[in-house]
Amino acid sequence: MHYTGYLAIHDMESELEREFEVRGMKFAFKKERLYLVEGDGPDMIWAQMTARNLEKITITSINDGASKLKEKGRNWGLFTVGHHRRAQLIQDELPKYNTKPIPFRHPLPSSPMGFWTLWEQDEILATQVTSSPFAIGEMDFQEDKVMPPSRAYLKLWEFFTVYAPEAIAGGTAIDVGSCPGGWTWVLRTLEFDKVHSVDKAPIEKRIMDLGRIDFRQESAFGLDPKDFGEIDWFCSDIICYPERLLTLVNKFRAAGTVKNFVCTIKYQAETDWEATMKFLEIPGSRIVHLHHNKHEVTWFLKGANA
Ligand SMILES: C[S@@+](CC[C@H](N)C(=O)[O-])C[C@H]1O[C@@H](n2cnc3c(N)ncnc32)[C@H](O)[C@@H]1O
């Protein structure tokens, strides 16, 4: 028997539990915020990391645990669900890996990052097949504390580093719900030829001073796709109901002029599952909870016109 392990996001276990319900799934075991499903399971939005083919390994000592893990792979991210000290002593015997914050668009680690936990005193659960090249799905950037006017830029940094590293510069981007200007700044550093930036609020002057930004102070919901021509990236971080965002996205999809979309779906107190599932039904698209997302998720669609 093998398991699929889902590590819920800190303080958001209820979101993952609700997602199990929505998808008609049942978990077999739970310890701390690690959930085990028997056999294979799908990718889950509210898991910060998915561990596939988890197998149980009986160990007789700390050294035995470390050597059995080393036989299976080099890199191991640990999440402890109990026996914390014993687990850490095993981890200390394993090869070290780089945990330093990385720069924007730094190439992703190419070697697999495994996952393990000490499930019982003498029983490890481990796999080398995980959804993230970073230990337990956590990553940090070398932040820019000078230019970005808000920390929202970290979401777009994470997206273009982890989920769209192949995205090429040049072309046109549109950033809706853009103020104070963090995402527009990221798009400018990516050297798009033109960034259309739209918000009801004003954008910061120093972002405008970067040049090649067409700022429009108006509601994004009134935009006409015909006014923009071909768009390489449609980016939205608008604060609005998910259904409203969906209508806007569908308007631009229907125009057939947008190659790629990346949008934050923001929730009020409750996650709007109905709208979320409608986004997921858009062919070829995915929804992830970025490490830099809060009570919101990121929907993206690459190669919409392919
Ligand atoms: C979270 S902020 C965006 C932060 C931005 N991505 C950044 O990096 O600085 C959300 C923005 O959505 C904008 N917004 C809300 N309703 C809007 C609408 N109907 N049209 C355009 N922008 C809207 C707000 O004015 C706000 O600036």
Strand partners, 6: 35, 50
Q: How far apart are CA 46 and CA 16, in angstroms?
A: 5
What pLDDT does 28 receive?
Answer: 97
Decide if 41 is inside a domain: yes
What pLDDT sits at residue 1? 81
Ramachandran class of 24: left when φ > 0, alpha when ψ lies in -120 to 50, beta otherwise: left
| CB distance 296 to 270 below 8 Å | no
Distance 196 CA to ligand 1 centre (A): 14
**Ligand 1 centroid to 165 CA: how many Å?**
25
Cα separation, 176 vs 231, in Å, equals 13
If asked whether residues 270 and 239 sit together in one domain, one would say yes
The residues lining ligand 1, judged by C-beta closer than 6 Å to any ligand atom, are 149-150, 152-153, 176-183, 198-201, 219-221, 237-240
Q: pTM to 2 decimals? A: 0.96
Q: What is the pLDDT of residues 233-242, one digit of tens each?
A: 999 999 999 9
Residue 280's domain comprises 153-301
For a ligand 1 pocket test, name from 157, 179, 206, 207 the mutation site with the most ligand atoms within 8 angstroms of its C-beta: 179
Q: pLDDT value at position 305? A: 73
Ligand 1 center–CA 240 separation, angstroms = 9
Q: How far is the CA of 299 from the centre of ligand 1 (A)?
A: 17
Could you say which residues of the chain have pLDDT below 70?
306
* Residue 101 forms part of a structural domain: yes
Domain count, the chain: 2
For residue 175, give the ligand 1 atom closest to its CA.
6
Instruction: Write the Ramachandran bin of 105: left for phi over 0, alpha for psi from -120 to 50, otherwise beta.
Output: left
pLDDT (tens digit per residue) in 93-108: 999 998 899 999 999 9
Ligand 1, residue 150: give the atom nearest the CA.
9
Query: How, if at all, do strands 285-288 and 296-301 pair?
Result: antiparallel
Same domain, residue pair 116 and 168: no
Inside any domain, residue 30: yes
> Does residue 143 fall inside a structural domain?
no
Please count the other Cβ atoms lying within 10 Å of the Cβ belonging to residue 253: 17
Task: Indicate if 119 and 218 belong to the same structural domain.
Answer: no
Does residue 265 sit in the same domain as residue 212? yes
Residue 231 has, within 13 A of its CA and on its CB side, a CA count of 28
Cα(172) to ligand 1 centroid in Å equals 19
Contact 203, 192 (CB under 8 A): no
Strands (DSSP E) contained in 155-229 are 172-176, 194-199, 213-217
Ligand 1 mutation target, pool 147, 157, 178, 234, most atoms within 8 A of CB: 178
At 121, which CATH number?
A: 3.30.2130
CA 296 to ligand 1 centroid distance, Å: 14
Per-residue pLDDT tens for 172-192? 999 999 999 999 999 999 988
* pLDDT for 167: 86
What is the separation, in whole angstroms, between the first and last Cα of the chain?
Answer: 40
Residue where a domain stops, chosen among 103, 137, 171: 137
142 within domain boundaries = no
| Residue where a domain terminates, one of 137, 171, 195 | 137
125 and 185 assigned to the same domain: no
Q: Are residues 159 and 276 in the same domain?
A: yes
Contact of 117 with 81, CB cutoff 8 Å: yes
Boundary residue ending a domain (137, 163, 195): 137
Q: Residue 267 sits in a domain of what CATH number? A: 3.40.50.150
20 and 73 housed in the same domain? yes
Residue 60 lies in a domain: yes
Pocket test for ligand 1, best of 199, 236, 297 (most atoms within 8 A of CB): 199
Report the C-alpha gap between 211 and 27 in whole angstroms: 52
* 147 lies in some domain: no
Are residues 184 and 78 part of one domain? no
Ligand 1 centroid to residue 158 C-alpha, Å: 19
12 with 131, same domain: the answer is yes
Four-point Cα dihedral 102, 107, 108, 109, nearest 10: -90
SS3 call for 92: helix
Say yes or no: 38 and 11 in one domain. yes
How much distance in Å is there from the Cα of 266 to the middle of ligand 1? 11
Cα–Cα distance between 135 and 264 in angstroms, integer?
24
User: What pLDDT is recorded for position 306?
Assistant: 67
By alpha-carbon position, which residue is closest to atom 20 of ligand 1?
219
User: Do both 128 and 176 map to the same domain?
Assistant: no
Which CA distances in Å does 220 have to 38, 102, 120?
Answer: 44, 33, 53
Q: Is 124 domain-assigned? A: yes
On whether both 104 and 169 belong to a single domain, the answer is no
